[in-house]
């Protein structure tokens, strides 16, 4: 595997279900991100992890719970979601924070298309 | 707060015609600039970036962009588009020294290439 992978690619869940999205980056980066992309809306940054520490949480509802066990893996745990949470969830990674190694650009996975029924 | 504006939500163009997608941002202090492309059912892919140096930047698939500090713009251009260029294009800006490395994205421009 190369780049950033996400599983599953598609997910349909009921409002009472619990599920998790997985992201893995094979680029040796130290920062990872979750974004939400809804139709007709701008890309929304949800969470940022840098060296496994959460550095950003953009007022995301508690029904979304991130987990970053190491700098290669990122999870988004979902429970009691609402229909308006249906969207494409994108994971990204980048290299930042180490002198001389910053690349600044983000590398994105293909996304998980989530439908909440 | 810093902002990124993509002036056109949709740009229709005929195949082999030139195209320009516009991007403006709110502050010119030490910026890093990016254009990403998103094809249907895929994630975003980097087209090109400006970090420093020459203000004209060349990217993949024949695209180029020019950094204009005085106008705080970073417009994307291609001299002759193909049907396969139909996609969503996002401009992104990181405010460098002293700022956050996390980019701010524009709302996106949908490029529609007609035969």
Question: Sorting pLDDT into bands at 50, 70 and 90, what band is B31?
Answer: confident
Using a CB–CB cut-off of 8 Å, the residues of B that contact A are 32, 34, 36, 41-46, 49, 51, 90, 92, 94, 101-103, 105-108
Sequence-ordered list of residues with C-beta below 8 angstroms from that of B30, at least 6 positions apart, any chain? B95, B96, B97, B98, B99
Give A111 to chain B, closest Cα distance, Å.
6
Of A59-73, A90-104, B30-44, B57-71, the least confident? A90-104
Q: Residue B44, class by beta-carbon neighbours within 10 Å (0-12 exposed, 13-18 middle, 19+ buried)?
A: buried
Q: Which of residues 50-79 of A touch B (CB under 8 A)?
A: 56
Cβ contacts of A110 on chain B, cutoff 8 Å: 41-43
Q: Share the mean pLDDT of chain B.
A: 92
Q: Share the mean pLDDT of chain A.
A: 90
Point out which residues pair with A34 in neighbouring strands.
A47, A91
Average pLDDT over residues A79-90: 95
Radius of gyration of chain A (CA): 14
CB A80 within 8 A of CB A62: no
């Amino acid at each position: 595997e190369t780049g950033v992978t996400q599983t599953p690619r598609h997910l349909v869940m009921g409002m009472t279900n619990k599920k998790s999205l997985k992201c893995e980056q094979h680029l040796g980066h130290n920062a990872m991100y979750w974004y939400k992309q809804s139709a007709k809306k701008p890309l929304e940054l949800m969470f940022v992890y840098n060296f496994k520490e959460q550095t950003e949480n953009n007022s995301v509802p508690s029904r979304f719970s991130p987990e970053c066990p190491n700098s290669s893996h990122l999870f988004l745990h979902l429970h009691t979601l609402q229909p308006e949470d249906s969207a494409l969830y994108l994971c990204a990674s980048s290299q930042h924070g180490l002198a001389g190694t910053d690349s600044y650009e983000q590398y994105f996975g293909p996304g998980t298309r989530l439908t909440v029924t | 707060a810093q902002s990124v504006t993509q002036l056109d939500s949709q740009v229709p163009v005929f195949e082999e015609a030139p195209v320009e997608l516009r991007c403006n941002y709110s502050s010119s202090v030490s910026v890093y600039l990016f254009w990403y492309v998103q094809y249907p059912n895929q994630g975003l892919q980097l087209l090109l970036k400006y970090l420093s140096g020459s203000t004209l930047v060349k990217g993949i698939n024949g695209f180029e962009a020019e950094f204009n500090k005085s106008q705080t713009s970073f417009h994307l251009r291609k001299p002759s588009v193909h049907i396969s260029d139909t996609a969503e294009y996002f401009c992104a800006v990181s405010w460098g020294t002293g700022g956050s490395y996390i980019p701010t994205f524009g709302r996106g421009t949908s490029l529609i290439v007609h035969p």
